[in-house]
A and B are shown apart, each in its own frame.
Chain A
Amino acid sequence: MNELAVHFEGVNKRYAHFTLNDISLDLPTGSIMGFIGANGAGKSTTIRILMGLVRQDAGSVRVLGHAMPAEQTSAKMDIGFVSEDMRLYGAATLGWHMEFIRSIFPKWDAPYATDLLRRFDLKAEQKIKGLSHGQRVKAALLLALARRPKLLVLDEPTTGLDPVARREVLGELMAVLADEDRTILFSSHNTLDVEQISDQITFIDRGRIIDSADKEIFLDRWRRLRLALPPDAALPHIPGVVEIGGSGRLPVVTTKSFEPGMVYACNDSGATVQAIDTMTLEEIFVANVQSRRQEQIA
């Protein structure tokens, strides 16, 4: 078994108005990665390269041990892919689609598919054109899941879903992970979903990966420190400063390298640490993007 389900190294792709720059990415088998970026950051382009739908200009891509795009045919037997722009036949029923996929993929799991119909509250007799947006997303997900793929690649799976449907979808994604050999990569701009179920998190902005680590590391190291300084005192040295806000004597410092010893260091220099705030993934993402954009300008 491969330890890495997905491996990108130095991948580049140039378009007229957009460049994907030096993307390197590792996704260990059995884990789930949330791929976060603003609209137009390069999430979908990266996913298309992963799927072999777009050929990279440079760099190597391996998916489930297969070189992409050269070996995409064999790789795709084990990849389930769901994206926004995937079209199902409007005039056909969901049952017809299930039969169609079953005829192509020998690993199709019919009892699981039936089970998913019930859990997603869908009916095989329904025609695709009569489905709501949320039902269509769930239908596409059902068709991918019931193939029992080793790797699930989902481009914005929860976008536009109501809270109940989102919960159903996230629950099914976690159920997939009960099997240690299966891996999920999903892109989203909903950081709450990503924060809840992801093991690995990758931030992408303007065609570059700006950070990639396991989720606990992100949530552990990023902190907002609210300080109080004595008059005319300088800000103490704090490692990993990303952003300094607040006012002169009451600065608010965002750091990406927090460790508890920092508090003593601040106290020793005369500053008082009034509060140490944990940050949500969304706050971390926004602070991260803003500081990188400023670095690029400077």
Chain B
Amino acid sequence: MTPTISVTQLGRTYKDHAALADVTLDIAPNAITGLLGRNGAGKSTLMRIIAAQEFASSGTVRVLGEDPMENDRILRRITFVREDQIFPDFKVRHVIRAASWFHPNWSEELAQTLLADFELPPNRPMKKLSRGMRSAVGIVIGLAARAEVTLLDEPYAGLDAVARQIFYDRLLADYVEHPRTVLLSTHLIDEVADLLEHVVMIDHGRILIDAPADTVRGQAATIGGPADAVERFVAGRPILHRRTMASVSSVVVGGGLLDQDYRQARDLHLTVQPLSLQELIVHTSETTTEARKSA
């Protein structure tokens, strides 16, 4: 399958700071991919370059097979909701109408439904909206565009938990009806984990994880129990994290566990707690942070 987005050896340097370094990545068509990482990891830079709103220092980007930079044919098939989106000071309904002109697959019906869902007042000037309401306008545009390539960069600043749930539900419902390639960057990993088909984790401008969500889940687990038994179990396995208190240990191991591993753990009276995606991401970035420090 031809990837919808293909990034090769991408680099972006600001003066002496490398925001992205040697990023090579393919985003599969019609899947929801999560772009995860800490603040400043390079998520937004990568998104902006894919959306052709920023230049790369090196490397290439292909979206739907072409270079998106100043490429109207391709840009019409992309929608990009930025975390820091600045809107002209129109009324809400005028912003929505203007957005509709640039998206050939625009669904006015969906836009109106979403405006009602988020309780956005159509006649209010953008300037008079709260932060969360402005984010909601971005989400309305991002979903109603039904663009083949939908880029959502932390689209929910200021949105409360209820509104975020509305966003997740509507995204899923419309995606089921109209499959498209969605790249969603977030640091609210637990909230979106179940929506994702594929996971990309970026840290200090580099790709650390690029795998199907199902593979990432169940890949690591916390092993707890008497220290000597824990050590016997974890020997030879990749260790992501280790905590010890008196004679008790708690060790996070990667590499995946098989049925026989669970049996061995039980025979050793150890507890096994599989890691959530969020916990795995935290441990992975801690591990690399420590490695960077000691390097």
**Chain A complexes with chain B:** no
